[in-house]
Amino acid sequence: MIRAALLLVVLALGACTHEIDESMLLYPHRGVAVDVGALAGQFPSHEVRREWITAPDGTRLQALRFERPDAVAAVLYFGGNGYTIGNFAAATAEAYRGLPVDLVLVDHRGYGGSGGRAGVEALLDDALVVHRHAAERARDRGLPLVVHGHSLGSFLAGHVAAAHRLDGLVLESSVTTIEDWGGHFQSMQPWWMRLAIRGVEPAPALRGRGNAGLMDRLDEPVLFLVGDEDALTPARFTRELYAGARLPERCKRLVVVPGKGHDGATQSREFREGMEWLLSLRPPGDAAVTMQPTRRPTRERPDAAADLPAPCA
């Protein structure tokens, strides 16, 4: 008993602040190779092909495209930290199987078949390049483009939304800020570790990161999605983002999926219904209104559609 009390005193006196750096957020790995033939056989209603997207520094990013002749929209999907298209393309395509959309998947730099070295700033820059690539193809096919980001990918999707007016946005298993998530991370530790860690702070390069700051700048319809049993990025973060989004109620929807954890929300009826709602807000013929990129806050456009308001602006 005395020893335990002394241990508590030592831990409390020696408590320190733990720093969250990129090594805690990024875990690059290669995964398995992409089997395009197997995926084409599994999803016969789609044409499946591999593509390469070149970043400004010459890094080649591996992408996979699913296209179907009856598509009414295209979806660009940014996966989470453990995502590679070799490992999870089939699961993502399965989640979207019943929806009439094209699907574009990509490996983050340093992950899967993509080259380069993973880093937060590099991934954010890559997201803009990938979006431009996907938007050009969507425009060629006359389709609106929705950007869907899960977990780590939700930061990339939010970064794209901060730079461009989108046709639709899906933020899945996202968080408000790294600082808020750090507090959650600390609360998940054993009691003795919580005593040893006075607080959790992000490294300078990560301070303020997250999607909270985006919420008052959104001008596209947004689906906020999370599993109610998500222990890694709890549903309260998504609820706070939804509440903070300064959009008309008709332009945002919160979907908290019962019984699903961090990776399972898209495998649900609720997700399909949420996507049907999102796709219904912009008819395919309206795609040309927003395919041209628009930098905030000026929202200047070089094309004649510049004067047309977005449905949720």
Q: How far apart are the C-alpha atoms of 296 and 289, rounded to whole Å?
A: 16
Domain assignment of residue 154, yes or no: yes
b/e map 269-300, b = 16+ CB within 10 Å: ebbbebbeebbebbeeeebebbbbbbeeeeee
Choice among 100-109, 120-129, 204-213, 271-280 with the minimum mean pLDDT? 204-213
Residue 13 has pLDDT above 60, yes or no: no
Residue 106 has pLDDT above 90, yes or no: yes
Q: How confident is the model at residue 288 (pLDDT cuts 50, 70, 90)?
A: very low
Q: What residue numbers bound the domain in which 80 lies? A: 26-173+200-284
Residue 97 has pLDDT above 90, yes or no: yes
CATH number at residue 149: 3.40.50.1820
Domain assignment of residue 11, yes or no: no
Output the six-digit token pair for 285.
């013929």
Domain count, the chain: 1
Domain assignment of residue 14, yes or no: no
Q: What is the pLDDT of residues 35-82, one digit of tens each?
A: 999 999 999 999 999 999 999 999 999 999 999 999 999 999 999 998
pLDDT, position 287 = 40
| Chain centre to alpha carbon of residue 128 | 13
pLDDT, position 177 = 86
Domain assignment of residue 309, yes or no: no
Element (H, E) at 186: helix 178-187
pLDDT, position 297 = 40
Q: How confident is the model at residue 187 (pLDDT cuts 50, 70, 90)?
A: low
Global pTM exceeds 0.85:
no
Mean pLDDT within 197-202? 60
List, in sequence order, every residue forming a beta bridge with 105; answer none if it has no partner: 64, 77
Domain assignment of residue 296, yes or no: no
In whole numbers, what is the pLDDT of the chain averaged over residues? 83
| Chain centre to alpha carbon of residue 94 | 18
String of DSSP letters for 104-164: EEEPPTTSTT--S---HHHHHHHHHHHHHHHHHHHHHTT--EEEEEETHHHHHHHHHHHHS
Domain assignment of residue 237, yes or no: yes
Domain assignment of residue 242, yes or no: yes
Q: How confident is the model at residue 192 (pLDDT cuts 50, 70, 90)?
A: very low
Domain assignment of residue 298, yes or no: no
